[in-house]
Amino acid sequence: MSDALLQVQNLDMRFGGIVALRDVSFAARRGQVTSVIGPNGAGKTTLINCITGMYRATSGNILYAGSDLARQSPHAIARAGIARTFQNIALFDGLTIADNLKLARYQHGTTGLLEGALRTPRVRREEAEADRRVEETLAFLGLSDIAGNTPSELSYGTQKQVEFARALMQDATMILLDEPMAGMSRAEKTRFVDLILRVRDSLGVSFLLVEHDMPVVMGVSDHIVVLDFGSKIAEGLPAEIRENEAVIAAYLGTDAEAH
Ligand SMILES: Nc1ncnc2c1ncn2[C@@H]1O[C@H](COP(=O)(O)OP(=O)(O)OP(=O)(O)O)[C@@H](O)[C@H]1O
Ligand SMILES: [Mg+2]
């Protein structure tokens, strides 16, 4: 598969006696939305934590654009172009939205602390560039109006969009979204799905999406991987997954939108 951007190969993750991931392999293609679904405790967040380097996989490989990420630091993985949003919102409430985004840019920047304090020409250039990017990103997402607000002044759905904007500020080539639409109204979900597709189509960003809302998953995904008790039980196109016996059995008796 020549256009595979992310390749997860034979990934195992054990916590003591708990096997959170067992021999999981799949590929996420460039410019696509690949969704990872499965019942609660299936290993979805663990998979994201392994890809971003928060957890070190027990065994297996994670290739991104050809290089092996499995033994790299979270920082190196972020620099390789992978950004994430968290299952819980992680914005700074003392800061405006514009500053939250700027901060995401700095985490990515090259300026050292001393240099920052001295405000060298390079620092001022980076700052002007960050301001420009904040404006551009907010405008692209239709969020220019809220640049001066703080997170707590915004609805939950809008805060989630800001988290998304923060990933874009890091020049990510792949964004990992862990249940970004949990707790959103139907209208907020529709807007968020539209955002994902717009970013995919106009910026060429690839997505790995963990989401429990099946209509959303079926509508937005190019490819779906299904985990159950840490193992991959199916993968394919939305239409194939919808008909898959093993997937239906795994979800039987569980409420896929339980939380
Ligand atoms: N740091 C950890 N220490 C011990 N066990 C863990 C750890 N992280 C995850 N697990 C276990 O790994 C399994 C998979 O958990 P994970 O959070 O990845 O599931 P999930 O698919 O994201 O579930 P949900 O849909 O509820 O978010 C669970 O049994 C969980 O208890
Ligand atoms: Mg989870």
Domain residues of the chain, as ranges?
1-81+172-259, 96-171
Q: How far is the CA of 92 from the centre of ligand 2 (A)?
A: 22
Quickly state the pLDDT bin for 109 (edges 50, 70, 90): low
pLDDT at 259: 43
Contact partners, residue 36, CB within 8 Å, separation at least 6: 44, 47, 208, 209, 210, 224, 225, 226, 227
Q: Is the CB of 46 under 6 A from ligand 1?
A: yes
Q: Is the CB of 85 under 6 A from ligand 1?
A: no
Atom 5 of ligand 1, residue of closest alpha carbon:
15
pLDDT at 89: 67
Q: Is the CB of 39 under 6 A from ligand 1?
A: no
| Angle made by CA atoms 212, 217, 220, in degrees to the nearest 5 | 150
pLDDT at 70: 85
Pocket test for ligand 1, best of 15, 19, 259 (most atoms within 8 A of CB): 15
Averaged over 216-232, what is the pLDDT?
A: 97
Q: Is the CB of 15 under 6 A from ligand 1?
A: yes
Atom 10 of ligand 1, residue of closest alpha carbon:
20
Burial of 158 (0-12, 13-18, 19+ CB in 10 A): middle
Averaged over 78-105, what is the pLDDT?
A: 85
pLDDT at 213: 93
Give me the count of residues in the chain.
259
Averaged over 118-146, what is the pLDDT?
A: 88
pLDDT at 257: 46
Taking the domain 1-81+172-259, which CATH number applies? Answer: 3.40.50.300
Q: Is the CB of 67 under 6 A from ligand 1?
A: no
Residue 200 CA to residue 191 CA, distance in Å, equals: 14
Atom 11 of ligand 1, residue of closest alpha carbon:
20
- Cβ proximity of 154 and 162 under 8 Å: yes
* pLDDT tens by residue, 155-188: 988 998 998 898 898 889 999 999 989 888 999 9
Q: Is the CB of 43 under 6 A from ligand 1?
A: yes
